[in-house]
Every structure is written in structure tokens, then in C-alpha cells.
Amino acid sequence: MMGNTRDVFAGGVAVITGAGAGIGEGLSRRAGELGMKVVLADIVGDRVETLASELRAGGAEVMPITVDVGKPDELERLAEHVHAVWGDVRLLINNAGIETMGLSWEIPSHRWEQTLNVNIHGVIHGVRAFAPRMLASGKPACIANLASIGSFSVMPTQTAYMVTKHAVQAFTECLYLEMQLTGKPIQVSSIIPGMVKTRIFDATAGEGEPEGAHGYRTAMREMMASYGMDLTEACRIIFDKLAAGEFWVDTQPEMTEGCVGDRISFLKNRAFPAIPAAARGLLGLDN
């Protein structure tokens, strides 16, 4: 799919998981502005109901649905319901994700499992639920998975999150190749946000993390507030790059280039893992 963003997406059905907050909310608003029919899927039903009321007031057609992406059966039911009510899906954005902070051995098992289920299994089973229907329709469609600048980085105390984002990036690359094998017009894209202003590092999002994670979360929240990209602008960029048919859908290309360059150097030189220079202050290592 390539062309003017509105021409590409207007009138189509968009399914966005994790639509009730953060990047998911921003993407949902942008999809509505572009004239898409938007399925707002989120584990917090009240959150998407509130968003749905606001978007409807602006003229958008929306469908709020409570879904736990960590449960494959719920994603399958979501796909069945969306296709029964609105038909073929033009755009699937597997966005739902959570940030988990803390030292790996201190994170409780239930928080580890929640992070893996939402961030990895939610993406995989989202594709598994919708891709067969997209392929069967024979129509142009797009699957976009939320990776991260963290897909190309390492960072102590953010291990759980980064493990999942490395996995999402690898899955999305393989999925791209698999869709090429089918010969069907299904675009696959990796959405790679850099530092975008959301509430992902709010204290309330850290329930279940070890006590020591609070300081890391606070430092990241303050850095995001100071240096993060505006959410609306980030979502505009994301939709424009999806419309252009790009695989690498990054909000801050210079940040992607830096992280990828560092990763290439690390692998080429078979170096020892090292804390990124920009992160040492966050961990109190430059004092």
C-alpha cells in the first residue's frame, strides 16, 4: 500500500490493541481523523468507552471492546466479532504492551509472565487471529507490530521489556518474509517509537514490580517529560510511513540509526555488553 495517507486508509477498518492509553490512544485518534472505522481494543474497558465517546463526538465511527491480548482465545473472538460486524480489516496494529522495570531476579514471576504474555504473545496471537482472514480476502491490508528503539538496545533494569521487544522485531521480520511467500498484498511493518511522551513510566503502571524499580521508573519518566516527542506528531509520522508502505516505521530515525549502529558494532566486534553512555546517569553510575 502506497500513496496519500488519507487515500490509503479512509473508509477502512483499523484494529488497534492497547487503544485506551499511550501510543495506542494516539494511533486510535489518528485513525479516526483519517476516516477509518476504529476498533478500540483494551484490557481496561472503561478507558476505551471514554475514548469512544470522545471520538464519536468528533464524528468517528468506533467499536470499543474489552480484550486481554495475553489470552489467545480472546483475540480469536475479537477477530470473529470484528469481521462479523464490519467485515475485512485494512489495518491491524498490535500495539498493546507494558513496561516492566527491575533487576531480572527480583521481578516476581507473575509480572514476568504478564509482560511476556502481553508484549510477545499478544502480538503473535493477534497476527494468528487476523492474518488468515486478511489472506482469504485477497485485499490489500497491513499488519503493524509495535517494536521499540529498545529492540536494538540493552539496558539493565529494563531487561523484561527489552527481551520482549527484541522478540517482536524478530517476529515481524520473519512475518514480512512469510507474507512475501504468499504473494498476497499484505504489508508488514515494524513500528519503532523512540522517546515518545506517554504515561508508560507512571508510577501506577509499575504495580507488581520490585521495590527497587521505583527509582528507575521515576528517572525514565522525568527523561521522557524533558526530551520525548509529542504523541500526536509521532502518530502522524507512523501513519504516513505505513501509508508509504515502509517496513521501518520509526518516529525518530536518527535515534534508530544510533542504536542500530551501536548494535552492529557490538556484534561485529563481539564486544562485552556495556551500559549505553546515555543511560549511566539514570543508573547513578556517573556520580
DSSP string computed for the chain:
--S-HHHHHTT-EEEEETTTSHHHHHHHHHHHHTT-EEEEEES-HHHHHHHHHHHHHTT-EEEEEE--TTSHHHHHHHHHHHHHHH-S-SEEEE-------S-TTTS-HHHHHHHHIIIIIHHHHHHHHHHHHHHHH-S-EEEEEE--GGGG---TT-HHHHHHHHHHHHHHHHHHHHHHHHTS-EEEEEEE--SB--STT-GGGGTTS-TTHHHHHHHHHHHHHHHPBPHHHHHHHHHHHHHTT-SEEES-HHHHHHHHHHHHHHHHHTPPP---HHHHTTTT---
> Are 278 and 37 a contacting pair, CB within 8 Å?
no
Predicted confidence at residue 287, as pLDDT, reads 56
Mean pLDDT over 215-223 rounds to: 77
> Are 189 and 143 a contacting pair, CB within 8 Å?
yes
Work out the end-to-end distance of the chain between its first and last CA atoms, rounded to an integer number of angstroms.
Answer: 50
Report phi then psi at 37, rounded to 5. Answer: -90, 120
Nearest alpha-carbon partner for 29 in 232, 242, 196: 232
Nearest alpha-carbon partner for 109 in 191, 208, 32, 19: 208
Mean pLDDT over 277-282 rounds to: 69
Residue 206 pLDDT class (50, 70, 90 cuts): low
Residue scoring higher pLDDT (204 or 76): 76
Clarify whether 161 is annotated catalytic. Answer: yes
Predicted confidence at residue 189, as pLDDT, reads 98
Kindly tell me if the per-residue pLDDT of 202 is higher than 80: no
Domains of the chain by residue range: 5-280
Predicted confidence at residue 213, as pLDDT, reads 77
**What does the mean pLDDT of the chain come to?**
93
DSSP string computed for 17-51:
ETTTSHHHHHHHHHHHHTT-EEEEEES-HHHHHHH
Residues 6+ apart with CB under 8 A from 167: 119, 120
Mean pLDDT over 232-242 rounds to: 97
- How many angstroms separate the CA atoms of 130 and 125, rounded? 9
Predicted confidence at residue 1, as pLDDT, reads 47
- How many angstroms separate the CA atoms of 287 and 285, rounded? 6
Mean pLDDT over 29-54 rounds to: 98
pLDDT tens digits for range 164-189: 999 999 999 999 999 999 999 999 99
Amino acid, single-letter form, for residue 278: A
- How many angstroms separate the CA atoms of 3 and 98, rounded? 32
Kindly tell me if the per-residue pLDDT of 56 is higher than 90: yes
DSSP string computed for 200-217:
TT-GGGGTTS-TTHHHHH
CATH architecture type of domain 5-280: 3-Layer(aba) Sandwich (3.40)
Mean pLDDT over 55-66 rounds to: 98
